Structures are given as C-alpha cells and as structure tokens.
Structure 1
Amino acid sequence: MSNSCDFSSLGLPEALLNAISAMGFTSPTPIQAQSIPYMLDGNDILGEAQTGTGKTAAFGLPALAGIDPRQRASQMLVLAPTRELAIQVATALEEFAVNMKGLRVATIYGGQPYGPQIREIERGAQVIVATPGRLMDHIRKGTLVLDSIQCCVLDEADEMLNMGFLEDIEWILEHLPEQAQMALFSATMPNQIRRIAERFLKDPKHVKIAADKAQKANIVQKAWKVSGLNKMTALERLAETLEYDAMIVFVRTRNDTMELANHLTNLGFKASALNGDMSQQQREHTVAQLHKGKIDILIATDVVARGLDVPRITHVLNYDLPMDSESYVHRIGRTGRAGRSGTAILFARPRELRQLRFYERQTAGTIEMMELPTADELGKHRIAKLSVELAECVSGTELTEMQELISKMAEENELSVEQLAAALLFQRQRTKPLKPNPDPKPRFDREDRRERGDRGDRPERGARRERRPATDFETYRLEVGREHGTQVKDIVGAIANELQLDSGNIGQIRLHDAHSLVQLPKAMPGETLSKLKAIHVRNRALAAEKTNEVIEPRGDRPPRRDGGFRGRDGGNRDGGRREGGYRGNRDGAPRGDRNERSGHRGSRDSAPRGERTERRPRRENFGNQ
C-alpha cells in the first residue's frame, strides 16, 4: 500500500482525525499507511521498522478507534521495554485521544508507588501502558485483570528481548484473552521474536518498512579519532563551538554521567545527568527540564536510548561507543526525528575505528571523519562570541552611569579608557582565554603505527636518543587527596588539559590523605596560576598554592636530569604518572618499594630466600638481606 494519501482516507473516526490534524499531521508515514487499515480490519500485525518512523501512531490510532470510552475496563494494553518509552507512548496516546471523552490512560512502571497506579486502574483506565516487570506484579496481586483486553501491542520487541524480558512477555501473553488482537513492532526480527509471533499472533500481516535513505540523510554522521586531546577536552570544545539547540552525550557508566555533567556545569554549561540510579521522579524532572530549555546538554546512559523524543535534540554525541550496532542506531535516532535534521558524532579510539563499518552497514549511511576546532579556532570563536555579547549589551543596556564611572577611574589612575577596557577584558577571559595555548602534538600509538606500516618517530637501533631539556620546577600544594578519591592520573589529566601543558612538563606528584603535591615549571604566567587554582578534580577546586614542602623520592632510583623519573612515556598506560614517577610494577607500586610492599622476594611459602638454607644451603648468601 502506498503512503501517497492522507489520514482521512484510512478509515479513522472523526475524533482521532481532528486530534492529529490539530497536532499538525497531514500525511501518514509508510508504516502508518500500511498498518492502520490492517488493524482497523481486525488483523494481527507484525511490523518491522526502524525507530523514528511513526510506529506509535501506526498502532495507537487504530487501537484507540476500537475502544469504547463508556466502558470502564482495560481494553488496550501496550508493553514497552523502558519507563521512558512507556511515558512517551502514554503521552502520545493521550494526545491522540484528546477528543474521546471519558478515556483514561494509566502508565504502569517500576520506581513508582503502587497506590496511584492501582487507583488509575480502579477508576477504569481503558488504556494500560506498562513495562513487563511492574505489569506482572499487578497481575499477581490481582490489582489488574486482562480479561477485557481487546488489543495488545508489543513495542520495541527486540529491545525487550535484549533486556531479558522474553520469558516475562510470554507469561503476560498467556494471560490475555484468546480473541485479543495482537500487534508486534520491532526494529529487527531475531529468531526469538519470530517464535513469539508464530505462537501468539494469528495469521499476521507482515508490514516491513525498508530504511528510508532520504530520512537517513537527515542525520549527518561524523567521527573523531581520539588523538592529541583527550575525550573530556574534546567534549568541552564541541560543547562550546557547535551550534546546537540541545545535545545528548551517551556514556557507558552511571558514574560517568555524574562526572561529566558536574564538569560541564562547573564550566558554565547547562548540563545534567540521566541514569538508572536516579529515582523516577528525578528522571522525569530532568527530561521536563530538557523539554523546557533549562538543560542543553544531557549526559546519559543507554537507559534513554529508547523512548526519549525531544524535538530540541539536534546533536547526539557518542562519548563512549555502544555495545552493539543496534544500540548505535537507537542512540542516533534521538535526533533527526519527524523530518528534522540532526548530527551524530562519535569518539573512536584507533582500535575502535573498525567498528564504524558495522555502524555504516546498519544505518545504510556514511560516517565522515572530522577534526576538532584547533586552539586558534577556539580562540577566534570566543572572540567573536564575546564581541557579539558586548555589542548586544551596548545596544540593549543603559550604560551612562558605567561610562561616567569608567571615566572617573581613568582620570584618578591616570589611565586611558582603552587601558581600563583592556584590563576588564583580561579579567573576563581568565577562565576561558581568548588565545588558548596551542594543542599538544598527537602521539601515535601502536594501532597508528600498524596502520601506517612504519616505525613512527622511533630512532634507528643504536642511535643515541636526544635528551629532553631540563626543566626547573616549583612545588605546589593541591587541596585534593586520597580521601577524596583522587588518583595521580586525575591530577595529570586535569592540569595537562586545563593549562594546555604537556605532561612531560609535569614533574613529581605525591598523594597524601587530604592534599597532594605536584611539581610544575617555574615562572608560569599569572593568568595560568589563576586558572590552576580554579581547576576541579573529583568536584573539588585544586586551590593551588606554592609550598616549600619537599617531595621525597621513593625507592633508590636516581631522578632523571629533567626532574622527572624513569618510566614509559613518563607515566603508566592510562596516561597518569605513578607517584614519584618511577617505573612501577603491575599494581602500581614502584620497584624501589618492593621490600616495603611485600617483604623479601621469597619462595612459594613466602619465606625469604635467605631463610631457605635447609633446602638450598649453597644459595644462602644470595638471599635478600
């Protein structure tokens, strides 16, 4: 069936047509044009279409057409995999049914008290939208009976399968009346979903909508290869320079949502976290804030990859790559919805670049490699933005009093107005310099070298390596330590990124319980020191101050001439220096500390070699004494 028609030709009742017309919908999408007539005729439906194709209206409109609002009994059931999707579907159904007087929609999901849900059911809600777990609880308690259900819909069936709800779905469907109409909608059709369809659907009409390349073109997909800058700095730079209305940043863990959201908030961005540890009330409030424009950047886990539909979302950023290609499709589907355009960006480490081919195949699209704005471009962006802000302030603000004040200050201090303006501008740009330090040069890792087929910048065997220039250090006290959860790599990363300081110019670091010590180059500019004080690690300001405290070396290995200590690339594998800068063993302890850490190097029963005289008397003089 072609979709070259309007809703009025599909046979929907007048009340529903008026509602969707008021919502601005005129022509049905392909999934709607094919599914609605089949469902109005009473057929079961097996619908296969990607997210964002209008599946809610495809099953919601015909199912609502068969409901009698005068009967206070549950007549329609929609199963959704997540709370967010359940809320979204329920909201859409309420909008479709706005002209159906007496119709009530009950949303049932975990994380909410049972009382309000039971009251909605007892008041005769004709439509039930639920997640599987909470629905099963109500069925077992006897607070919800499915005997009067006329139509049951499984929305995002493949996601319910991925979340382990397969047995729960089968249990629920076994409690439905035999004559109930069934509609199963899914983005993909794995074998387990097909088996459910074969068991519970009666001669279903299979509606399959191929990926619409024109729609896919609405989402521009880009990738940045992580090199030079770390991902945190890259996120900051994009958040500052991209032209976006709202952005979702997907990360892998709940802790990451909080850490990134707090970091961006401290930088002045309107950011917030959304994860499964938050109460349902908190999550709903956060989504509402995103709708209203009080939040511009949402840092989230995949808990919202399905079901979040906010028109403001123009960009999706995959800070961490998803576990599979299908999750990637659903993530980027949060933008470019309903004909709007959107941009999806992902951060890929060199070893993750091969995953991009799978994403392209899954989306029938192309992922373009991109570069981040350089430090110079970032500075120009800040200058242009500040210039516009100042011009708007001049045109929209009464500044007579300020002009008189600055003239008086100039006269009293024998300064020109330009000098005072320059001083104010200097103070204004301290936290965000108008001329940021140049970006560090990217360092090639093993994957890069394999791809390039060369030895990188390694010198020929036997060639003498050029020694790095010596660095004259001063010691600073930082008000973060072990009791705040701080690690050495946190301090190195924060200082290197915020001050645009090469990690080779960071000397020794020593962690204490309530504070830390770090060596930094002498004669740093005043604005750099001011910025150092304001840097946050583990949500605490460093409040850096020069100190005369001495960082005592650990172990007996001599320091290098440049003030640091021997170690691969100046630190450990994750980019952070171990305390003291020594090359350490796997648990992070310096080799010079082995005797302190675990005693002498001994035999399997932990006896020092010097105590093994009975078994091996000849070796007694070779034990560690």
Structure 2
Amino acid sequence: MTSNQYAPTDAPPVGLEGERSDPAPAPVVGEPSDGRTVASADEPEGAAETAAPERPDEPEGPRFADLDIDPRVLRALSDVGYESPSPIQAATIPPLMDGRDVVGLAQTGTGKTAAFAVPILSRIDVSTRQPRALVLAPTRELALQVAEAFGKYSAHIPGLQVLPIYGGQSYGVQLSGLRRGAQVVVGTPGRVIDHLERGTLDLSNLDFLVLDEADEMLTMGFQEDVERILADTPEYKQVALFSATMPAAIRKLSGKYLHDPVEITVQSKTSTASNITQRWVQVAHQRKLDALTRILEVEAFEAMIVFVRTKQATEDLAERLRARGFAAAAINGDINQSQRERTISQLKSGQIDILVATDVAARGLDVDRISHVVNYDIPHDTESYVHRIGRTGRAGRTGEALLFVAPRERHLLRSIERATKQPLTEIPLPTVDDVNAQRVSKFADSITESLAAPSLSLFRRLVEDYASEHDVPMADIAAALAVASRDGEAFLMEPEPPPSERPRRDKDRDRDRDRDRPGQGGRSGGSKSRSGVEMATYRIAVGKRHKVVPGAIVGAIANEGGLRRSDFGHISIRPDHSLVELPADLSRETVDALKRTRISGQLINLQRDSGPPSSSAPKKRKRD
C-alpha cells in the first residue's frame, strides 16, 4: 500500500464534476486577443470525466501514453480504465506539460478535472510537505470531487497528500491536515481566505494554481477573494483557468494574472446523453402531487431525484411523499454539509429512494442507482434541464427523465426541445385502473414473498386453530389479516367521477344570485366542483367597469394558473371586482402567479374572499 492519502476521511466523494445552474451559452471559437495562442476542440457535452468513447467511424486520436505523462499517473489512469483522452484533455495536457499557462473554455462535464490534474501530478514536487498546487472551486461539492480525482490519479505516487478545505466543515480537521502537510490543496475561496488570514495556509512555494469554474466563482461574488488569493501567490507560477464563458471580468482576470496563455475552446455538439429516455406529461399545477404519486406507483424505478424550484418546496413535497408511504428526503441550500452527506449516503445505500432537490443542492450529485429524474417544476433555462437529467444514466447505465408541463408552460418545453435537438415523447398520466392493477400485482408479490418466511408454520397453525374454533373460512381470515395490514387505508384507488352535464346559463345566473344572499353560504366556501374537488371563493380586482366578461376571466386564470375549464365554479362580476370559485387547495406558487396576472391590462391581485365587510351602521331604508 502506498503512503498516498486522501484527507479528510470523513468527507465522502460525491462525483467527478460540478454543475452550473445559471444559463451559459456554449463557447464559440473566436479571434484571440493579441499575443494569445488559440486551440480548439469539439466535444459532446456530458462526456465521461476523462475518457471519450472511441468511435469506429472517426479517426483515432491520441492516447494518454502519447502525452508524456508520468508513468505512475498513467498506471493510475489505466487502473480506472482510461485510455483515450477527451478532446479538452488532448488539447490541454500538452501545453500544461510544457509549463504554459492555459485558459480553457468548456462546459461542465467535459472532463476538465483530469485535464489539469494529470499534468500537475506528472510534474509536482513531493519532496516537501508544503502546498505546491492550489485548486480553487466555487462550491464545496466541486472541491470534494476535484480532491477525490487527484487522489485517484495519484494512487501510485508515494508521499503525495491531497487536502480539500471548504466551508461547512470544522476547522479542526482542516488544521490537522495542513499541519501534517499536503502538496495539493483544493478549496473554496472563502475558506482559503480564512486560512490565509489565520496564517495556517502558506502559498509562498506554490508552483501551480487552477481556477476551476472561474465564471461561476465571479457570479457568486468571489472576485475580490480570488484576487486576494492570487496576490498571495508567487509571481512565477503556472496558472490554468477554466470557465464555461468568457465575460469581460474573466478576460480581465486572465490578462492580469496569466502569462501568454494558450486559449482552448471546446464546443458542445449535443446537450443530452443518448442513453437517457426523455418523456413529458401535461399536468396542471394543483394536480402535480397526484400525478407524481401515480407515476411512483406504476413506474419501476430504483432511485429517483425530483427537482423543484424552491427550498420550501423540497421540504413540503418530501413530507407529503413520506405521508404516502414513500422513502423520501429533501436537500436544499439551507441544510448543513453533514446532513447533506448523510442524506446522500442514505440514497446510495437504499435507505431512501426519492430525493427532492433544488438545482443548487444537486450540484455534483453522482449516485449510480439513480434511475429516474423527474422535473416536478419545469426549469426556465435549458442548461438547468440538461444538468438535471444528467444526474441519471451514469456509469454506462440507461436513465429515464420525466418532465411535468402545465398548459401555460408549453413554450418552455419547446425551448428545451430546440436547444437539445431532441424531441421529448408525450405520455399519458397513469389511469386509476393502471394504479390499481399495479397495487394488485404488488399484493400478489408480497404473498409470494411471505410464503417463504421462516415463521410461516407458526402463523399457519394459529390461523388453523382460529378457523376451527370460530368456524370461519380460511380465505376470510386471510382477507381480514390483509385489511389489518393496511391500517384502515383504502387498498384500491377510487375511480374518478364522470364529468356531469354543464348546467344551463339561466341556472348559473340563479345560483349566482342565491350565493350572494345571506345564509346561502356562497362566500364561505365548502362547495365542491363537478369532479368532487373542494372549492373556495376568490376575489379578483377587475369588474364591470373594466369591461370584463366571464370568458376573459376563465381564459386568463386557466392560462396563467395551469387550470382546466372544469376547475371553475361560479363567476360573479361586480362593478369593481369579481368573485370566482376555484379549487380550495391552490398552491402558493399558483396563487402568486395569478396575483401577477392581468385582465384587460389590470392586475387581478387574486386573493381569498373573506365575505362582505361588517358594519355597525344601520342601512338607510330605500324609498319606494
């Protein structure tokens, strides 16, 4: 066993690449600035971390053995099965091996980590314990991934130590690692600054500096921290800067701190992996939970990530899924690192099967058993969609991606299809019969499994004694035990009520009049729609003086709220406002969207109607 160590041991690996959440266009080969050498390469986005698969119809490219890499690093690459470098690795490793500074423009997932780790490990001095290479990463997840990659590629370099330092982990572990000495330090800017100010991190002998996901670091507000760190490093060092885009701030940073860099651009040919089946289903916002529940019951999956937009939504949805008997947990930006690592460990081990997450919280998540990704809330940019579904189909497996699309979100679906150049297949929502058939099948499977239980003979004797004593058929006893195991819950899903015949307009008008009279209960809610959904009365700030008609109200609210015509009850148009019956369980997101909806140019400001204002003043008698 070598003396190489990946420290600290309490920080488990979570993948090989980080993830961006902000939209960034694919870089394009352009004219270099004066004095820069430019190389370009084409690579499919989402390629493997280090090795691109060989294609028989394309000319064979260089192999790692052709790039003058240290034999010990080559051996480590061979151990993990890598032979041929990806385009960015083939273009980046030679100039870095020659000691040149490099600017690499490439999207996440193109194998950048090996592109800078392999040449650094081939040239690093391990005779001292002082930091010789520093890699700055925007997130702790990416820092852990990069540190793990360095640990793998240095498996046959005795004495080399790799230490990740990041926020969210105790200083004690990091201080111990720094005292022991580490030649490679991978850290987030904030924590690196902390150690510099404490005097616990010495960068005076640094030979290599890497800025990974540089544009992300600047977007997150780390520009001053990055420049502060650069100012503490020796003037003569080798610098590699990797970024998905080249905004003016990155160009300025490159010009100030890099010396005559080689600029390498990798263009993406495709956005989504071919081993991921992409489907979509149309579902209104307020029916998403029911739709997801049906899919979970009918679809065979190993583990699943469900993406939502907000932190609160992760907690709410995970709690509702647990209430329905699913092993679900939430991760978001508010949970601490130890809790995040514990949750991911439970997902890997099978203690939980469903992870409800936001884009930011799922960055860098790499769990092989994730077979499905569900976009519960459709992303507003195509790059987020690509990164989301990239959480499945890992390690050569196939994956399934499902997208929930509300009627008013069809344009976002079209944008995703145009950007990925891959049409998504529409599927129908599982019916009640589909769900019930699956429940019956699982019930039969549970009987078959229980027949092999070692305690079967004991319970058979007890059941036989009960049948003999009470003269009850065995089938009735088995059915009673099955009912008891359900704890009072219904076994089969109730069929959906058939839509009733639409009432005549004159009846609607009569009901509108009646519901406004005292004692009719119109405003207090409690009524139900024709499909049995509990309804409530909502007030909108448009009325007769805005020249609105019922059709305009239905059309605007249905379009913006993702509702169907059958979700509407009575509509009463008043002089300066209107009352509309809608489902009582409208989500917070739907209500917020409807508050911003306009009808006839007027904000409707939808809110629950609280009834007529109380007044102690007596009403004046109207003259005859």
TM-score with structure 2 length normalisation?
0.71
Q: 1:12–1:61: 8 Å Cα contact kept in structure 2?
A: yes
Match of 1:401 among 449, 458, 474: 458
**Greater Cα offset, 180-189 or 54-63:** 180-189
What is residue 150 of structure 2 aligned with on the other side? 93
Give runs of aligned pairs for residues 87-486 of structure 1, distance below 5 A.
Answer: 87-213=144-270, 216-227=273-284, 230-395=287-452, 397=454, 399-429=456-486, 433-439=490-496
Three-state SS of the structure 2 residue aligned to 1:569 is: strand
Shift of residue 575, structure 1, vs aligned partner? 6.7
Supply the distance in 2 between the matched residues of 1:354 and 1:44 (Cα, whole angstroms).
43
What is residue 502 of structure 1 aligned with on the other side? 532
Deviation track 1:565-622 (CA, whole Å, cap 9, x = no partner) reads x96235569379x9xxxxx996645223x227xx88xxxxxxxxx9xxxxxxxxx969
What is residue 614 of structure 2 aligned with on the other side? 595
Q: 1:110–1:134: 8 Å Cα contact kept in structure 2?
A: yes
Supply the distance in 2 between the matched residues of 1:302 and 1:313 (Cα, whole angstroms).
16
Shift of residue 118, structure 1, vs aligned partner? 2.6
Supply the distance in 2 between the matched residues of 1:140 and 1:110 (Cα, whole angstroms).
15
Instruction: Describe the shift of the 1:433–1:99 C-alpha distance in structure 2 as closer, same or farther (beyond 3 A).
Output: farther
Three-state SS of the structure 2 residue aligned to 1:56 is: helix
Shift of residue 397, structure 1, vs aligned partner? 4.0
1:574 aligns with 2:577: no
Supply the distance in 1 between the matched residues of 2:621 and 2:238 (Cα, whole angstroms).
84
- Give % identity: 44
What is residue 516 of structure 1 aligned with on the other side? none
Which runs of 5 or more structure 1 residues have no equivalent in the other structure? 444-456, 469-487, 509-559, 561-565, 579-583, 601-609, 611-619
Deviation track 1:492-531 (CA, whole Å, cap 9, x = no partner) reads 9xx99xxx98214x799xxxxxxxxxxxxxxxxxxxxxxx
Shift of residue 282, structure 1, vs aligned partner? 1.5
1:21 aligns with 2:51: no
Match of 2:131 among 60, 63, 74: 74
Following TM superposition, the consecutive aligned residue runs of length 4 or more in structure 1 with deviations greater than 4 angstroms are 429-434, 439-443, 457-468, 570-573, 584-587, 620-623
Shift of residue 130, structure 1, vs aligned partner? 0.9
Deviation track 1:247-281 (CA, whole Å, cap 9, x = no partner) reads 22222222222222223233332222212222222
Deviation track 1:95-148 (CA, whole Å, cap 9, x = no partner) reads 222222221122111122323323322322111111122222222333223222
What is residue 99 of structure 2 aligned with on the other side? 42
Instruction: Describe the shift of the 1:369–1:185 C-alpha distance in structure 2 as closer, same or farther (beyond 3 A).
Output: farther
Supply the distance in 2 between the matched residues of 1:100 and 1:437 (Cα, whole angstroms).
64
Amino acid of the residue matched to residue 260 of structure 1? L
**Greater Cα offset, 210-219 or 244-253:** 210-219
Instruction: Describe the shift of the 1:392–1:138 C-alpha distance in structure 2 as closer, same or farther (beyond 3 A).
Output: same
1:84 aligns with 2:141: yes
Q: 2:536–2:583: 8 Å Cα contact kept in structure 1?
A: no
Supply the distance in 1 between the matched residues of 2:621 and 2:199 (Cα, whole angstroms).
78
Q: 1:335–1:342: 8 Å Cα contact kept in structure 2?
A: yes
Instruction: Describe the shift of the 1:303–1:430 C-alpha distance in structure 2 as closer, same or farther (beyond 3 A).
Output: same
Shift of residue 436, structure 1, vs aligned partner? 0.7
Supply the distance in 2 between the matched residues of 1:273 and 1:417 (Cα, whole angstroms).
44
Say which structure, 1 or 2, has more relative contact order (CA 8 Å, 6+ apart): 2
Instruction: Describe the shift of the 1:89–1:294 C-alpha distance in structure 2 as closer, same or farther (beyond 3 A).
Output: farther
Three-state SS of the structure 1 residue aligned to 2:85 is: coil
Q: 1:317–1:345: 8 Å Cα contact kept in structure 2?
A: yes
Amino acid of the residue matched to residue 614 of structure 2? N
Supply the distance in 1 between the matched residues of 2:201 and 2:582 (Cα, whole angstroms).
64
Match of 2:108 among 32, 35, 51: 51
Instruction: Describe the shift of the 1:292–1:377 C-alpha distance in structure 2 as closer, same or farther (beyond 3 A).
Output: same
Deviation track 1:2-25 (CA, whole Å, cap 9, x = no partner) reads 764443333222222222322233
Q: 1:43–1:181: 8 Å Cα contact kept in structure 2?
A: yes
Supply the distance in 2 between the matched residues of 1:439 and 1:185 (Cα, whole angstroms).
55
Instruction: Describe the shift of the 1:305–1:196 C-alpha distance in structure 2 as closer, same or farther (beyond 3 A).
Output: farther
**Greater Cα offset, 388-397 or 1-10:** 1-10
Amino acid of the residue matched to residue 149 of structure 2? A
Three-state SS of the structure 1 residue aligned to 2:280 is: strand
Three-state SS of the structure 2 residue aligned to 1:568 is: strand
Three-state SS of the structure 1 residue aligned to 2:163 is: strand
Q: 2:92–2:115: 8 Å Cα contact kept in structure 1?
A: yes
What is residue 532 of structure 1 aligned with on the other side? none
**Greater Cα offset, 200-209 or 80-89:** 200-209
Which runs of 5 or more structure 2 residues have no equivalent in the other structure? 1-40, 42-58, 513-523, 538-571, 573-577, 592-603
**How many corresponding residue pairs?**
503
Supply the distance in 2 between the matched residues of 1:314 and 1:350 (Cα, whole angstroms).
27
Three-state SS of the structure 2 residue aligned to 1:125 is: coil
Q: 2:286–2:587: 8 Å Cα contact kept in structure 1?
A: no
Supply the distance in 1 between the matched residues of 2:265 and 2:621 (Cα, whole angstroms).
77
